[in-house]
Chain A
Amino acid sequence: EVQLLESGGGLVQPGGSLRLSCTASGFTFSKYAVSWVRQTPGQGLEWVSAISGSDDGTYHADSVKGRFTISRDNSKNTLYLQMNSLRAEDTAVYFCAKAPLGSCTNTRCYNFDYWGQGTRVTVSS
C-alpha cells in the first residue's frame, strides 16, 4: 500500500525557516517524481515544487522561487521542502503527492496518483 507521511509543520514567525519532510513507503521511491502542493485555509490547491525521481530536475512555482528548495534522499525514501523567508501568505496545509511518472519532460509534468494527509504550516508573529 502506497503511503506518504508528512511532518515538520508548525508555527513560525515571518522571515523564519522551516523544513518539511515526507516519508514514502509501499513503492520504489526513486522511480517516481514527487511534488509539494499546498492548500490555504478554506481555499484551493496550489502546486509548490516538483522533483524528478532521480533527483536531476526540480521546478518551483514563481510564488516560492528563490525562497523554497525541494530535495529528496532516495536512500531514506524521503522528500524535503526547505522553506526560507516565510511570509504570512505561505500559511497553508502542505501535501506531498506522488506522480505516476519519473519526471517532467521539459515542462510537461504529471498528475498525482497518491497524496499524503498534509502538515500544517502557520506563519505568524
Chain B
Amino acid sequence: EIVLTQSPGTLSLSPGERATLSCRASQSVSNYLAWYQQKPGQAPRLLISGASNRATGIPDRFSGSGSGTDFTLTISRLEPEDSAVYYCQQYDTLITFGQGTRLEIK
C-alpha cells in the first residue's frame, strides 16, 4: 500500500498570506495525485487532479505542483473561507489518502 504523509499537521496563517502544504508518497505515484478541501460537516471537494490541474470552479489562488514522491499544494492570498482540512490522494496504485493538514486562518 502506498502511504501518503502530509505536513504540517496544522498550519495557522493570516488572511493574505501564502500557505504551502506538503504531501510525500512512500513510492512514486507519477502525477496521479489529487488534493481535496473539506470543511466541517461537509463532503470533500476536489481542488486539484493530476498533481497540477485545477478542478472546475476552483480559484487560481489554488495551485498544485510536484511529481514522483513529493507534492505541494499552494494557496496564495489566503481568505477566511480557506479554513479547512486539506487531503491529498494518490490513484497510481488503487487509492489512498493522506492524513490531512488542518489550515486555520487567524
Contacts and interface: CB of A to CB of B under 8 A. Distances in A.
A interface majority secondary structure: loop
A35 interface: yes
A89 B92 CA distance: 26
Interface residues of B, number: 23
B51 to A, nearest CB: 10
Range of interface residues on chain A? 20 to 34
A108 B43 contact: no
A44 B34 contact: no
A44 B99 contact: yes
Interface stretch (A8-16, A23-31, A45-53): A45-53
B93 A50 contact: no
A115 B44 contact: yes
B94 A107 contact: yes
Interface string B73-97: 0000000000000010101111111
B94 A109 contact: yes
Contacts of B36: 45, 112
B32 A108 contact: yes
Interface in A70-114: 95, 100, 104, 107-113
Contacts of A61: 94
A108 B34 CA distance: 13
Given A107-B93, A108-B91, A113 B32 contact: no
Contacts of A115: 43-45
Nearest to A113: B46
B105 interface: no
Interface of B: 1, 32, 34, 36, 42-46, 49, 55, 87, 89, 91-100
